[in-house]
Amino acid sequence: MKKDIILCGVGGQGILSIAAIIGQAALKDSLYMKQAEVHGMSQRGGDVQSNLRISDRPIASDLIPTGKCDIILSLEPMESLRYLPYLEKDGWLVTNEAPFINIPNYPETGKVAEEIGKLPHKVVLNVDKIAKELGSVRVSNIVLLGATVPFLGIAYEKVQSSIRDIFGRKGEDIVALNLKALAAGKEAADRLL
């Protein structure tokens, strides 16, 4: 089992939280894991990206080579396009369709959607809307994580357990909300697949 995952978005969207949850779930599944992240611009709403590699065998490098990524998990649709050269031909894009327009020359949203639409393997959801319906847009990242679960190769229960571990210190209400977000994302992806 091997999964190379690129997680991307804009600073403050929770990309690094998703990476931590997947990484911990992989360790609970006795898998090897390596991670590299870029988040220097995150305080200014800039690009945040993480390479996450999980495998049942030792991993030499924490960076994913061009054309070898199994999954791009993106909280921002334009950011997902930035990393498409890394996606292998049978790889999956799981992305939020709602843009985070933080630059004056953001491309026309219809053009971004058109480019994403050309991909053969994709799950495109408005995770912000789903999270808002759950009561907090702050769990958009966990909705997106839930939509990615079918592609991870890690048991759903291990991901749930990692959410409990990571958010447990914030209280049971936060844990319950994040678990609901995870389930909502998984259900939305299951309907599309």
Cβ-contact 15, 52 below 8 angstroms: no
pLDDT over 80 (residue 9): yes
Amino acid at 13: Q
pLDDT over 90 (residue 103): no
Quick one: DSSP state of residue 80? Answer: H
Q: Give residue 122's pLDDT.
A: 97
pLDDT over 80 (residue 46): no
**112, 146, 19, 85: CA torsion to nearest 10:** -30
Six token digits for residue 33: 């894991």
Q: Render pLDDT for 10-28 as a digit per residue (tens, 0 to 9).
A: 888 888 899 999 999 999 9
The mean pLDDT value of the chain amounts to: 93
pLDDT over 60 (residue 64): yes
Q: Render pLDDT for 115-125 as a digit per residue (tens, 0 to 9).
A: 999 999 999 99
Max Cα distance, the chain (Å):
45
Q: Give residue 170's pLDDT.
A: 95
Q: Render pLDDT for 138-181 as a digit per residue (tens, 0 to 9).
A: 999 999 999 999 999 999 999 999 999 999 999 999 999 999 99
